C-alpha cells in the first residue's frame, strides 16, 4: 500500500465510497451504517479499508473496533449532531466553485483581519461574515483570518477545543458554509487564512485513543500527552495531519493556514512535521498552480521555523511576533507584569522594528536564560505584528480591549505603530472602530464535570486579581453574547471617526512604497527613552518616509532629517479631522523642528 494515497475517512468517487481507518491494534473494524454493518479489510501498517456502493452522501455512520462501542470517525467531514453524534458522509468536491480566476496575493501584500465566527456578528455563523465582507473591503484589509472552525463541543468556543480536525463546526454552517464563504471572499478580492490546531486536541468528544496511538506519553504538554509525531506508530499520525493541511487548501480553497502554538509540537524526527507539511504543500502547489502560505504562532524566537528547508529550516512562510505587541503595550503605558516584565518600553519597541525579535540571544529575566536567535536575513513578510489579538485580549481576566485600556489618542498611535511597521499588520475584529465590548474566554462543554473544571481553573488562574472583580463564567451564554461585536456602534460619531481613521491609514500604507515594500534593511527606528518618542525611517528608492511617534503625555519636539528638499506631511493623528488637539504644518523644510502632540504620530515623505 502506498500510504500517501490514503485519504483518512470516507470519500465519494463515481458513486462509490472509499473508506480508510487507522486502527493498528484492531482485529476487526466495522462500519455501522443505516442499521447495516459493513466489515473493513485489513491493509498494511494498521490501516483498514473498504470500497462500497452501499454508502451515499448524507448517510450517518460510526465505526466499531473489535465489536466495542460505536465511535465517530476521527477523520469525519461532518458532525451534524455534535461531537458525540454520528459522522455524516459528504462530498467536498461537489461544491461549484466560482473562483477560477482568483490569484492569492503575494504574502507581502497581506493586511490581515482576525475574526471569530461566533462573535463577529449577531448571527454567529459564516453567513454573518459574508454579509460583512463589503465592510472589510472598504476598510482596506486584504485577508481575513478565521479562528479555528474544527468541530468542538456545543456551540460556543474559541475553537481551540476542536476534536474533529477535518469537520467544520456544524453551528457555523459546516463544510458547505465555509466553502461558500471562501468563494465569496475571493469574489471580493479577499484572501482567507484559517487558524488550525495541530499541537493538541480538545478533551470532550476526543475518541482518538479508541483507534490507535495518536498521542504519546514521551512528552507532556499543557493539554496532557502530546500528539504522536515521533513515537511508535507516528507515520500514520503525521499522514493524518498532512492530509488535513492539503484538504483545507485543495477542497476549501483556503489561501493560508495559521498553525497554533507550534512550539508545543513535540517532534525530534530527522524531518520535522512542519518541514514535511511544507514539502507536501509545495507538491500540491506544483500540481494545482495555486499559491498557499503556512503561518505559525511560535514564541521560541527561533529562525529555524521560518528559514527555508534548503537552509535547514522548516520552511514556514511567516510567524506571529508577540514581542512587537509586548513592547508596544508597555510603551503605551500597559502594566509590566508576567511576561510583560521582560519589556522595558520604547527602546524595545525600536529593537522590534529593527530586529524583529526583541530577544535574539541576550538574557531574558522572565525566562532566566539567554533566549532567541537573530533574524537578520528574514524578510519583513515573515513577521506578523498587531496591537491586540484574540489571545492578548481574551486571556486577560476580564477580556478588556485596547479601547477600554488606552485613550482614544493612544489607540490611534498604536494603530500607526502597527501599520507603518516593515512587517505584515494584523487587526483584531472591531479594533477599527474601537469596539467596547470585551472579548472574553468562553466554552460550552456538555460534560458537567469538565464544565466545572474549566470554571474552577479559570477562577484559580486569576485568584490574585480579585480586586478587579470575578473572572466571567466561561460556560455562561451571557459571557459569549457580551463578547459579540456591536455593529450598531458605527452610528456613533466617535466610532465612525475611528473607522475612517483606519481606512485612510491603511490606504496610505498601500500607496506609499516606503511603507508597503517591507524593506527591513532600509528601515531604521531610533528611540528617545527620555521623551518616550520614536523616529522610524523607511526608504524605497528615492522616496523616504519618516514616522514620528510620541508616546508621552507631553508635547515633544523632534527634528526631521537633513535632505535636499522639503518634507510633505501625509498623515497626522493629532489633526482636528481625527478629533486631535492640533495639526502639524503640512510642509516643512529640511532639519525643521516638529511639535509632536501627546500620544500622536505624524508621517512625512521626502522625494
Q: Which parts are annotated binding residues for substrate? A: 258-263, 322-326, 390-395
The secondary structure of 465-496 as a DSSP string is GGGG-PPP-TT-HHHHHTTS--GGGGGSHHHH
C-alpha cell at 50: 473498504
Among 145, 260, 400, 431, the active-site one is 260
What pairs with residue 424 in β-bridges? 384
Distance of alpha carbon 70 from alpha carbon 203, whole angstroms: 18
Q: State the burial class of residue 147 (Cβ atoms within 10 Å of its Cβ: 0-12, 13-18, 19+).
A: buried
Do residues 412 and 573 touch, judged by C-beta distance below 8 A? yes
**How many residues are there in the chain?**
607
Do residues 383 and 356 touch, judged by C-beta distance below 8 A? yes
Do residues 355 and 380 touch, judged by C-beta distance below 8 A? no
Buried-exposed string 3-16: b where 16+ CB fall within 10 A, e elsewhere:
eeebbbbbbbeeee
- The CA-CA-CA angle for residues 508, 513, 515, to 5°, reads 60
Distance of alpha carbon 206 from alpha carbon 214, whole angstroms: 11
Among 130, 255, 297, 431, the active-site one is 297
Coil/strand/helix, residue 273: helix
| CA distance from start to end of the chain | 64
Distances from the Cα of 66 to the Cα of 28, 43, 313, 426, angstroms: 5, 16, 43, 49
Pairing state of beta strands 150-151 and 533-540? unpaired
* Residue stretches of the annotated binding site: 258-263, 322-326, 390-395
- 260 assigned to active site: yes
Q: Which residues does 275 contact at the CB level (< 8 Å), separation at least 6?
A: 309, 313, 314, 315
- 591 assigned to active site: no
Q: Which residues does 571 contact at the CB level (< 8 Å), separation at least 6?
A: 416, 504, 505, 508, 601, 602, 603
Measured N-to-C along each axis, helices 408-419 and 322-331 cross at an angle, to the nearest 10 degrees, of 150
Strands in 298-455 per DSSP E: 318-320, 363-364, 369-370, 383-385, 424-428
Give the residue numbers annotated as catalytic, written as ranges.
260, 297
Amino acid at each position: 500500500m502506498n500510504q500517501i494515497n490514503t485519504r483518512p475517512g470516507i470519500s465519494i468517487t463515481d458513486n462509490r465510497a472509499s473508506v480508510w481507518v487507522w486502527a493498528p491494534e484492531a482485529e476487526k473494524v466495522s462500519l455501522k451504517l443505516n442499521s447495516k454493518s459493513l466489515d473493513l479489510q485489513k491493509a498494511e501498517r494498521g490501516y483498514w479499508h473498504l470500497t462500497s456502493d452501499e454508502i451515499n452522501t448524507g448517510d450517518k455512520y460510526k465505526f466499531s473496533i473489535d465489536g466495542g462501542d460505536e465511535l465517530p470517525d476521527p477523520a469525519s467531514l461532518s458532525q451534524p449532531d455534535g461531537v458525540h453524534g454520528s459522522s455524516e458522509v459528504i462530498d467536498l468536491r461537489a461544491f461549484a466553485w466560482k473562483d477560477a480566476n482568483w490569484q492569492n496575493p503575494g504574502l507581502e501584500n497581506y493586511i490581515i483581519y482576525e475574526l471569530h465566527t461566533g462573535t463577529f456578528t449577531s448571527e454567529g455563523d459564516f453567513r454573518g461574515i459574508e454579509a460583512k465582507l463589503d465592510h472589510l473591503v472598504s476598510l482596506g484589509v486584504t485577508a481575513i483570518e478565521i479562528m479555528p472552525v474544527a468541530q468542538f463541543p456545543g456551540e460556543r468556543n474559541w475553537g481551540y477545543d476542536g476534536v474533529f480536525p477535518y469537520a467544520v463546526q456544524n453551528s457555523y454552517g459546516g463544510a458547505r458554509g465555509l466553502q461558500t464563504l471562501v468563494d465569496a471572499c475571493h469574489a471580493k478580492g479577499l484572501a482567507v487564512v484559517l487558524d488550525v490546531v495541530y499541537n493538541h486536541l480538545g478533551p470532550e468528544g476526543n475518541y482518538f485513543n479508541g483507534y490507535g496511538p495518536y498521542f504519546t506519553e514521551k512528552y507532556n504538554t499543557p493539554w496532557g500527552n502530546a500528539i504522536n509525531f515521533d513515537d511508535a506508530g507516528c507515520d500514520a499520525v503525521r499522514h493524518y495531519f498532512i492530509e488535513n493541511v492539503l484538504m483545507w487548501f485543495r477542497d476549501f480553497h483556503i489561501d493560508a493556514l495559521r498553525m497554533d502554538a507550534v512550539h508545543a509540537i513535540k517532534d525530534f524526527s530527522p524531518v520535522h512535521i512542519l518541514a514535511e507539511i511544507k514539502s507536501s504543500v509545495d507538491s500540491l502547489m506544483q500540481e494545482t498552480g495555486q499559491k498557499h502560505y503556512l503561518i505559525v504562532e511560535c514564541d521560541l524566537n527561533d529562525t529555524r521555523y521560518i528559514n527555508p528547508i534548503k537552509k535547514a529550516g522548516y520552511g514556514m512562510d511567516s510567524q506571529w511576533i508577540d514581542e512587537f505587541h509586548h513592547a508596544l503595550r508597555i510603551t503605551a503605558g500597559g502594566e509590566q507584569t508576567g511576561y510583560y516584565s521582560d519589556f522595558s518600553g520604547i527602546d524595545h519597541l525600536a529593537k522590534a522594528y529593527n530586529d524583529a525579535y526583541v530577544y535574539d540571544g541576550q538574557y531574558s529575566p522572565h525566562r532566566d536564560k539567554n533566549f532567541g536567535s537573530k533574524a537578520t536575513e528574514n524578510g519583513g513578510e515573515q513577521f506578523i505584528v498587531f496591537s491586540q489579538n484574540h489571545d492578548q485580549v481574551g486571556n486577560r481576566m476580564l477580556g478588556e480591549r485596547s479601547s477600554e485600556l488606552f485613550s482614544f489618542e493612544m489607540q490611534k498611535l498604536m494603530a500607526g505603530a502597527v501599520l507603518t511597521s516593515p512587517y505584515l499588520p494584523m487587526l483584531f475584529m472591531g479594533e477599527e472602530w474601537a469596539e467596547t465590548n470585551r472579548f472574553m474566554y468562553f466554552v460550552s462543554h456538555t460534560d458537567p464535570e469538565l464544565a466545572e473544571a474549566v470554571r474552577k481553573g479559570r477562577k484559580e488562574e486569576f485568584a490574585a486579581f480579585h480586586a478587579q472583580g470575578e473572572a466571567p463564567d466561561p460556560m455562561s451564554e451571557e459571557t459569549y453574547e457580551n463578547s459579540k461585536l456591536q455593529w450598531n456602534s458605527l452610528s456613533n460619531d466617535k466610532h465612525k471617526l475611528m473607522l475612517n481613521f483606519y481606512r485612510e491609514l491603511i490606504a496610505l500604507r498601500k500607496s506609499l512604497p516606503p511603507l508597503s515594500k517591507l524593506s527591513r534593511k532600509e528601515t531604521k527606528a531610533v528611540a528617545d527613552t527620555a521623551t518616550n518618542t520614536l523616529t522610524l525611517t523607511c526608504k524605497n528608492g528615492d522616496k523616504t518616509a519618516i514616522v514620528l511617534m510620541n508616546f508621552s503625555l507631553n508635547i515633544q519636539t523632534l527634528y526631521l532629517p537633513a535632505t535636499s528638499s522639503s518634507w510633505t506631511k501625509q498623515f497626522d493623528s493629532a489633526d482636528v479631522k481625527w478629533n486631535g488637539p492640533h495639526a502639524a504644518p503640512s510642509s516643512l523644510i529640511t532639519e525643521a523642528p516638529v511639535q509632536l502632540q501627546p500620544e500622536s504620530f505624524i508621517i512625512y515623505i521626502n522625494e
